[in-house]
Amino acid sequence: MRVLLVEDDDGVASSVTLALEASGYVVDRETDGEAAWFKGDTESYSAVILDLGLPGMDGLTVLKRWREAGQAFPVLVLTARGNWNERVEGIDAGADDYLPKPFQVEELLARLRAILRRTTGQTNPLISVGALTLDTRQMRVTVNGLPVHLAPQEYRLVSYLLQHAGRVVTQLELTEQLYSQNFERESNAVEVLVGRVRKKLGVDLIETRRGFGYIIEKPV
C-alpha cells in the first residue's frame, strides 16, 4: 500500500519511513504544506500521515482542503502541540486518528493498520479467503497454515488484493499502490508479478478479469 508521509522534521521522517517500508508500505514524503496538498489531490494513496506544523500551509488547512475536494483517504494526524481543542478541530476536519509527538513507531504502525482496516471494512488483523491467510501485524502469508515466503512487492500485492477482496482492482491502481514514483518498471510489471505470486501461493485465488484487472473473491 502506498502512503504519503507529510513531515518536515528529517529525523522523525527518517525513522517513520524506515518503519513503514519495513512493514511493506511504499512511502512518498513531502515537507511543505502546499506540495503535500497537491500530491494528495493528484496522486493515489491508501493513507496519509500528516504533521500539523508545516511550512507553506499548515496541516489542518491541507486536511480541510482535501476533504472539501472529496479526497476520502484515511489521515493519521501527527502533532507536537498539546492543545486538546486543536485535536478536536483536526478530527472534525476529517482526521481519522490523532497521535501526539513524541511517539513510538510501533504505536504509529498499529494506528495506521487500524484505520486501514476500518477503511477497507476489515475488523480483524487476520484476513482469510479459502486456504489463504494474511496476518497484517506480522506481515505473514500462509496457505493451509504453512508460511509462504514472499518478496516485498509480492507481499504488497497479496495484501492489497486481500484487503480489497470482492472488488476488481485495475492494473493502474496496483501500479500506483505497489511501486514508488521513481521505480523503473516494465509495462507488464504487474502481470509478471501476479504470475509469480500465483506460483508461490499454489492456490487459484487471484482471478484475472480481462480488460479490467484482478480480484480475489470474498468467500460466500
Tell me the per-residue pLDDT of 58-68, one tens digit each, with 9 for 90 and over. 999 999 999 99
Separation between Cα atoms, residue 168 and residue 213, nearest integer Å: 6
Q: Are 78 and 51 in contact (CB under 8 A)?
A: yes
Coil, strand or helix: which one is 163?
helix
CATH superfamily of 2-119: Response regulator (3.40.50.2300)
Higher pLDDT, 83 or 56: 56
Q: pTM of the predicted model, to two decimals?
A: 0.81
For residue 183, what are the contacts with CB-CB under 8 A and spacing of at least 6? none
Confidence of residue 178 (pLDDT cuts 50, 70, 90): confident
pLDDT of residue 169: 94
Strands (E), 173-212: 206-209
Q: What's the pLDDT score for residue 218?
A: 82
How is residue 139 annotated by DSSP?
T
Please, which residues have CB within 8 angstroms of residue 154's CB and are 6 or more apart in sequence?
Answer: 193, 196, 197, 200
The CATH architecture to which 126-216 belongs is Orthogonal Bundle (1.10)
Q: Please report, for the chain, the start and end positions of each structural domain, with discontinuous segments joined by +.
A: 2-119, 126-216
Query: Pairing between strand 206-209 and 146-147?
Result: unpaired
Per-residue cell: 35? 506540495
User: What pLDDT sits at residue 181?
Assistant: 65
What's the pLDDT score for residue 121? Answer: 77
Q: Can you give the pLDDT at residue 120?
A: 78
Higher pLDDT, 193 or 219: 193
